Amino acid sequence: MEVLVINTGSSSIKYQLYRMPAAEVLARGIVEPLGEKARLTHTYDSRTHSAGVKASDHAEAMEVILQTLVSKTVGVIEDIRQIEAVGHRVVHGGEEFTGSVVIDEEVIASLEKYADLAPLHNPPNLTGIAAARAHLPHARQVACFDTAFHTTIPEVAYMYALPYEIYEKYRVRRYGFHGTSHRYVARRAAALMDRDKYDVNVITCHLGNGCSITAVKDGKSVDTSMGLTPLEGVVMGTRTGDFDPAILFYLAEKGYDCPTLKAICNKESGLLGISGESNDMRTLGKLAAGGNRRARLAVDIFCYRIRKYIGMYTAVLGTVDAVVFTGGIGENAVDVRKQICTGLEQIGIEIDEEINNATCQKEGLISTQNSRVKVFVIPTDEEAAIAKDTYQLAAKGTTHD
């Protein structure tokens, strides 16, 4: 069965075409930015095709993608009817969706209801779903939620200490994100330890431009660093992470309006805000090595906050079998991994510096033989997880995670 995985952003559509159940990637690509300068980048059979395209909106971008997949020169299938299912990454499923689901009108109505909880993500996700349904009416459409893995978090961990009626009226609570990634690497860590997926306690660290840490107990998410929105938690590329909310009141009294404060917290803070130079860890590492004090400070704060979360989640879990690093920074920044783990020896975490330095963009165990807690680098594959869920729902009517 051919399964198309779609990740729709506000000005782009990413795609991967899988042959299931083998999870063979036939092609992958992106159309961005939507509008007059839209461009297709399409990779197939170890080759890459790039061209300007007419894609003023998501519907036209979807048409470009499908035409490319069946192209006689760069295509990988003969007919779009070979695509029997489409898996959509959807950021926010609220409290309603505890796993991936086949999309129908009721699901769409629910996603529209949760749009105000993820205004930058759910509306584009819905647009992508509409485009796929229009162009592939024969295919089973499946929604896979970033929040679903975190629906097992207990009330004591997801409630905020606000007046309870705010939760009752607006469902203000911790939801968490990057759930598909956390689930994938937690399951992979269990397999690497030859353990059942529900027989492990793992702390998973998804570190990229957006970062989140999750405590996984007996294979289930029991706490996570992101909250109602992706702003809470550890320091990120341009997001603040945790900070005193009264700062916003203070700045409001100084004349800052709500849109400006939102932009500061989400787009101008984090590594970029501290360093004043970049949100890219590679750039900051080079600047720090060259003596740039603020770049060094940004890296140090980033590592400190993550180390603090690992310590907190060790207390939450009681027993930790493994810590997993994933995401662009987690998979590649060997110095960052070393700095995060330095000082955690008392809770059983000790990495092998030589192995750590040799483990970049690949899966590996980087802890020492004496480390009580195993430390893994596991490249995340959210698209493969979405393809698996989509295939299972399309072929069997249920998932088996």
DSSP state of 55: B
CA 96 from chain centre, in angstroms, equals: 20
How far, in Å, CA of 74 to CA of 239, rounded?
A: 39
* Helix or strand holding residue 250 (H, E): helix 246-253
In degrees to the nearest 10, what's the CA dihedral of 65, 67, 73, 78? 110
CB-CB contact of 288 with 275 (8 Å)? no
146 is catalytic: yes
**6 — phi, psi (to 5°)?**
-120, 135
**Which residue is catalytic, options 104, 146, 218, 381?**
146
CB-CB contact of 21 with 391 (8 Å)? yes
Q: Exposed, middle or buried, 50 (CB in 10 Å: 0-12/13-18/19+)?
A: exposed
Structural tokens at position 330: 């987690």
CB-CB contact of 204 with 222 (8 Å)? no
Residues with a known catalytic role: 146
